[in-house]
Chain A
């Protein structure tokens, strides 16, 4: 049974690889056409299966989450998918490229969400305090765009603060410390009532057009489509950015550190610096996604940022294929989409993802869509195990 699965899986990866090779071999203009087609598809997704005149295309229509009874708004689900993809891309920098298992990523997500809530909402104690100190009108709050910058700056700083003392630790220790960090952020958000409103949470978080209200023309509470387009735009920008980073000197240094820290240090790559850089980059992306989540949701409280979600983030990266952006994005989409489309299964989503983590790691440690370099590395280790069976 397992052997059969393995053969089928090998064939599947073979096909994937040959598709990848063919894509690489295409002339430039054909690639450009392909990319444009993909972009059109992504931006068209909220209308999937819908024809003008209220007609539905049955096959495509079934994919929508609102095609089932009690299903969620399709554009809303797409928005969550986009947010999770952003999270996965950020976490992939930390886990997949630099090889640092970060189980506290939710902390950065929370800081991003709280930075728009604390500075942008008129209901937040911080804004109220500023109003009092500087005699500002009660409608004053920091603009959404400035909150965006704040979110990125704050998360980068917190990434460095977390990384500075802990990045000297290796592997497992780092994982547990980051897990503790995520919990600390959540508990602080819950207990620091004077700053974050504690368990009550903060409402009226603004979007690009200001606080959520029915008369917001584009980014309102009801129609999620503009939110999805906004999120997917951020995702595409970040994909380009991270891709550039991956192929730069920094990216190569990350891979070197991931493969063998000592060897990298000997060759003149200072691991600590690059690990810190990876942490800060990853944190900023996490903060950005938390920021979008907070402003779309218009309300946040500490219970939305629990450790389980953090572990789920790691699950989407490792199940999808850590180190490969397409892989982790697939993991994120599966994770956000499947429970919404198959509501009966939604209760079991954690169970299924737990099982998937174990199964994928045992059968295919490199994930569903592997990074080729990572696949080779794992093969090497397996070969070493064959040669020296006495190793534990």
Chain B
């Protein structure tokens, strides 16, 4: 137990935790949206994120990006990366819905069957990127698919440097970008769901699918919409991840997905603002825990938090409420 270390650098750990948690929160949105509308845990959402990181990697690789490009170019690359990652992840999420969920919804299958198809498809995606694509494209995209099942590094777009320090807490430019852009994305989504016509449709279906259908809401379209939005958010998270950690791997989604799911449950699955809260909270708890014990216990901390929350407060900190949000 390293209490001194934790207390001595409390601010620093909090900042690290927040910028990590922001990424969890963005992925958690995908779980929360789908759960809010369909009452279903989209197990394969982690792979949606994984595809996003690969999209960023392939894009930067094909453009021949060097480390530390000039600032103008860097911004362009990031914007391009966001577009490509969002498109890839959104597309994957949509494909997932069509292949794994829609046929089952027609048959009114029990919830466990949805989970199993999701697990199956998740395996398929992991294998596509770890085994099949490297064999197909190994020679065409040398640095991306040449080495199956390995951690693949990415070019550094923005060099990490300390922007300012408060006390002994140093805040880096990347941490700031990650945190601010995640919060902005969340705010946009919150506005979209609570203030627009499409958002109203989503809330209506979440609250009562039959009545919503009677009132002329096209359910299928709403379901497609939430999958795409969840995918776009996962794509944004993928870009931020690539920028901050600078690597990807075909099996990257598994642990990250579990953590994002934990974040969603923590804040109250089905609740958008809860996802943000849960993500940030989990990020902080994880960093504190890793400091207190040792960094190789980090993943265990997340799982223990998940089990404890589900035991004592299964509806999370803010409760489930996509459907019950203000009209």
Contacts and interface: CB of A to CB of B under 8 A. Distances in A.
A188 interface: yes
B115 A101 contact: yes
A57 B123 CA distance: 39
B315 to A, nearest CB: 11
A355 B124 contact: yes
A304 interface: no
Contacts of B104: 361-362, 365
A356 B120 contact: yes
A61 interface: no
Contact of B299 (A183, A347, A351): A183
B168 interface: no
Contacts of A384: 108
A378 B297 contact: no
Contact of A101 (B112, B303, B307): B112
Contacts of A173: 41, 265, 310, 314
B130 to A, nearest CB: 9
Interface in A95-116: 99, 101, 103
Contacts of B103: 362
A385 B99 contact: no
Nearest to A381: B108
A378 B109 CA distance: 7
Contacts of B265: 173
B89 interface: no
Interface stretch (A122-130, A174-182, A324-332): A174-182
A351 B123 contact: yes
Contact of A172 (B40, B124, B302): B40
A9 to B, nearest CB: 15
A358 interface: yes
Nearest to A361: B117
Nearest to B254: A307
Interface string B257-269: 0100100010000
A175 B261 CA distance: 12
A392 B38 contact: yes
B109 A184 contact: no
A165 interface: yes
B193 interface: no
A355 B126 CA distance: 12
Interface stretch (A200-208, A224-232, A262-270, A311-319): A311-319
B131 A315 contact: no
A337 interface: no
A180 B258 contact: yes
Interface residues of A, number: 49
B317 interface: no
Interface residues of B, number: 55
A311 B121 CA distance: 12
A311 B108 contact: no
A281 B205 CA distance: 41
Given A190-B296, A362-B103, A382-B108, A353 B123 contact: yes
Nearest to B209: A392
A169 interface: yes
Contacts of A355: 120, 124
Contacts of B261: 176
A385 B119 contact: no
B75 interface: no
B306 A348 contact: no
A390 B209 contact: yes
B9 interface: no
Contact of B120 (A166, A168, A358): A358
B41 A176 contact: yes
Interface in B73-119: 99-100, 103-113, 115-117, 119
A179 B304 CA distance: 12
B218 to A, nearest CB: 12
B300 interface: yes
B140 interface: no
Contacts of A101: 112, 115-116
A165 B116 CA distance: 23
A357 interface: yes
A347 B108 contact: no
24 contacts: A101-B116, A165-B311, A166-B310, A168-B311, A171-B111, A171-B112, A172-B111, A175-B41, A176-B261, A177-B307, A180-B307, A184-B303, A187-B299, A311-B119, A348-B131, A348-B132, A354-B120, A355-B120, A358-B117, A361-B116, A381-B108, A392-B38, A392-B219, A392-B223
Across the A-B interface, the 5 shortest Cβ-Cβ residue pairs: A357-B120, A354-B123, A385-B108, A180-B303, A351-B127
